[in-house]
Amino acid sequence: MNFNSMLTMSISLILLSISMFMLFNNTFLYFTIPMENMLSFQVQLSSMLDWMSCLFMSTVLMISSMIMVFSMYYIPKNEHKQFHLMLLMFILSMMILILSNNLFLMLLGWDMLGVSSYILVIYYQNWSTASCGSITLLTNRIGDIMILLSISMLMLTLSWELNMNEMFPLLILIMLMLASCTKSAQFPFSAWLPMAMSAPTPISALVHSSTLVTAGIYLMIRITTNIHPFILISLMFISSITALYAGLSANWEQDLKKIIALSTLSQMAMMMFAISIKSSSLSYFHLIIHAYFKSLMFMCAGILIHESSYQDMRLMSNSNYNPSINSTLALTNMALMGLPFTSGFFSKDNIIEFMINSKLETTLSLMMILSIGMTSSYSLRMMYLSSKLLIKSKPDSFNHTSIYSNSPMMMMSIMPLILGTSMLWMMKPQNMFIFPNHYKFLITITLIMGFMTGMLLSFKSFIYKSMGQFSLSLWFTHIISTKLFNRWFPMMIISFNNDKNWQEMYGPNNSFKQTMKSIMIPESTKSSTLMMLLMISLIPIMMI
């Protein structure tokens, strides 16, 4: 391990100890830094250190330390330094966002996240990554605009604190909800998350699966103490729609990293749904567990892509059979599906049971239960297609794995097994519900039906391919992310010319060109034009 990974792991363990101390003693620390004070107008940067922020920071730093070790296997040796600097920039912006308790400091971390995410997505520097990075940046920019408008509108109340949101008007809460939906890739801003998979796999494991996309969830957890019922109902509809079409799209996707990205999208929707049913503790519980097993899943996918030289599952084959990779991938898939006695079971099952107990709208509840079945379906299909044992006659088909790829995977593989029970004992997010048997077995039956569907989807047929046309386009939400920007492109060109080239457009250079054009006109044309203009100007006088 290098120095950066050892340092981040040490800070992570210290923050974990502080988090446990604050949780058991029910304490927190609150800091304010005054920035501007004029009469009754006071701007201050405030941060709150409680058990939730400490545990989240510990999770981010622990995953980052493992990714730094893993990147030494995945990234060329001469690029390690700049890659680690990019990761440290992202970690710093994430720390600022987690510690912030008012909108000023949160906007700083939010904008830094957007910039660092764009830099990491365009890491390979080609046309494909440039287009994906632009859509990522522009989609997240909508959330930045919403937060800026919220800050300006809260000048009326002079309170920007997140823990005093009972003073926030409904319009402010709607803007913050839209901002969190852009960062967490909820409907209709979902298209940027699969496109961000053009980044290297270590970046996807850290940024686009476990930490960056959870920033919107974390914001909604912070502001849902006294939230308006309209926001809860809106979140319920948005999250259920997102979970449904993310699961459908993953069942027809062939790219391994995009399938994992769509599963991340589905899990983000489940966290948003938990917030909408007033169960923020369960949402936070699932957020921490999901961060660990999803980053581990991306590590396994990165090794498979690196060893097989393909990202399309139809072309992949595990010619150099490594049982540790396949078993770890199977373990993370079990946690993702929520099979009993894995970490994902304790959070997902509690969310579904709380949803059934709260007697919500039947359609939305069925949509979320259906998404669980689709999760098991695409997970089984992904395992089947990515782990084929085929002989490949390629000169470079030998094993490249090393201690840098296997050690973080082995250290993280224990998390999908023990993290759920340990956090359940410590946090006690909700009491266990006692349901009739037909309710308790509903989730298990849904999982079994998802298994059967996953086996059927592994076969290729014309009906199967024709049904997937709508799903692969994310049910036409990609139009919002791509076609609308094409409509705005002429306006962007005009703005670019006026903003960047105003000296050339309106300065001496353009004046000289216009003068030269007038000089080049023949004298006869000039005199005839002057006579015509004179006649036109005399017409009103003659009429009078």
Q: What is the per-residue pLDDT across 117-144, written as a single tens digit (0 to 9) for each?
A: 888 888 887 787 888 888 888 888 888 8
Position of tokens 């800091």? 31
- CA distance from start to end of the chain: 94
Burial annotation 172-198 (CB, 10 A radius, 16+ → b, else e): bbbbbbbbbbbbbbbbbbbbbbbbbbb
Q: Extract the tokens encoding 96.
A: 């600022």
Please say if the pLDDT value at position 283 is more than 80. Answer: yes
Residue 115: phi, psi to the nearest 5? -70, -45
Residue 522: the pLDDT is 59
Q: How remote is the C-alpha of 114 from its chain's centroid?
A: 11
Q: What does the pLDDT average to over 153-180?
A: 80
Q: Rounded distance, CA 502 to CA 496, Å?
A: 9
Element housing 47 (H / E): strand 41-49
pLDDT for residue 390: 57
CA pair distance 310, 317, nearest whole angstrom: 9
Beta bridge pairs of residue 48: 30
Quote the pTM value: 0.81
72: which residues sit within 8 A by CB, 6+ positions away?
2, 80, 404
Query: Averaged over 501-529, what is the pLDDT?
Result: 61
Residue 481 has pLDDT above 70, yes or no: no
C-alpha to C-alpha distance for 423 and 413, rounded to whole angstroms: 16
Residue 491 pLDDT class (50, 70, 90 cuts)? low
pLDDT at 146 over 60: yes
Angle CA 85–146–182, to nearest 5: 60
Q: What is the pLDDT of residue 315?
A: 74
Half-sphere exposure of 47 (CA within 13 A, CB side): 15
C-alpha–C-alpha distance, residues 259 and 312, integer Å: 11
Both tokens of residue 149? 């408008």
User: Does residue 150 contact residue 175 with C-beta atoms inside 8 Å?
Assistant: yes
**Model confidence over 243-271: pLDDT tens digits?**
888 888 887 777 888 888 888 888 888 88
Sign, CA torsion 291/294/300/306: negative
Query: Using 50, 70 and 90 to split pLDDT, how confident is the model at 153?
Result: confident
Q: Is the pLDDT of residue 372 over 70?
A: yes
Rounded percentage of the chain residues whose pLDDT exceeds 90: 0
Choice between 34 and 95, residue whose per-residue pLDDT is larger? 95
Beta bridge partners of 85: none
If you average pLDDT over residues 89-95, what whole number do you get?
87
CA distance linking residue 308 with residue 262, whole number of Å: 22
Six-digit token string for 357: 């107990």
Structure tokens at 20: 């446990």
Helices (H), 358-507: 362-386, 403-412, 415-427, 437-457, 462-472, 478-500, 502-506
Q: How far is CA 542 from the centre of its chain?
A: 72
Q: How far is the C-alpha of 10 from the C-alpha of 131, rounded, in Å?
A: 38
CA atoms lying within 13 Å on the CB side of residue 26 = 0
Q: Report the candidate in 69, 70, 66, 55 with the shortest Cα–Cα distance to residue 13.
A: 55
Please tell me which residue, 514 or 231, carries the higher pLDDT value. 231
Per-residue pLDDT, averaged over 152-171, amounts to 78
Answer yes or no: is pLDDT of 325 > 70: yes
Question: Could you give the CA distance from residue 350 to residue 484 in angstroms, rounded to a whole number?
Answer: 40
Residue among 150, 309, 143 at smallest CA distance from 215: 143
Any idea which residue has 């632009």 for tokens?
A: 134
Q: One-letter amino acid identity for 187?
A: F
> What confidence tens digit (pLDDT) does each residue in 414-451 have?
888 888 778 777 766 555 566 666 677 777 777 777 77
Can you name the residues that pair with 537 across neighbouring β-strands? Answer: none
Percent of the chain at pLDDT exceeding 70: 75
Indicate the Cα dihedral angle 85, 87, 93, 99, nearest 10°: -120
CA 93 to chain centre: 15
Q: ∠127-121-193 over CA atoms, to 5°?
A: 105
Indicate the angle between helix axes 127-153 and 478-500, nearest 10 degrees: 80
Residue 396 DSSP symbol: T
Mean local confidence (pLDDT), 217-235: 82
Q: Is the pLDDT of residue 489 over 60?
A: no
Q: Are 429 and 286 in contact (CB under 8 A)?
A: no
Q: Which is more confidently placed, 130 or 362? A: 130
Among the ranges given (63-67, 160-164, 333-337, 530-534), the one the predictor scored with the smallest mean pLDDT: 530-534
* C-alpha–C-alpha distance, residues 379 and 452, integer Å: 12
Q: Tell me which DSSP letter residue 501 carries.
A: S
* 394: pLDDT strictly greater than 80: no
Higher pLDDT, 471 or 34: 34
Q: Strand, helix or coil at 520?
A: coil
More confident residue, 453 or 542: 453
Q: What is the pLDDT of residue 20?
A: 87
Q: Are 416 and 296 a contacting pair, CB within 8 Å?
A: yes
Q: What is the mean pLDDT of residues 27-38?
A: 80
Of 141-150, 190-199, 282-291, 430-439, the poorest mean pLDDT is in 430-439
**What average pLDDT does this structure show over 52-64?**
88
Determine what percent of the chain falls in helix, strand and coil, rounding each to the nearest 5.
Answer: 75, 5, 20
The whole-angstrom separation of Cα 175 and Cα 178 is 5
Go through the chain and tell me how many residues it has. 544
| Digit-coded pLDDT (tens) for 36-48 | 776 667 777 888 8
344 within 8 A of 416, measured Cβ to Cβ? yes
Question: What pLDDT shows up at residue 460?
Answer: 56
Is residue 187 a contact partner of residue 478, using CB atoms and an 8 Å limit? no
Q: Is residue 523 over pLDDT 60? A: no
Q: Does 154 have pLDDT greater than 70?
A: yes
Segment 195-206 shows an average pLDDT of 81
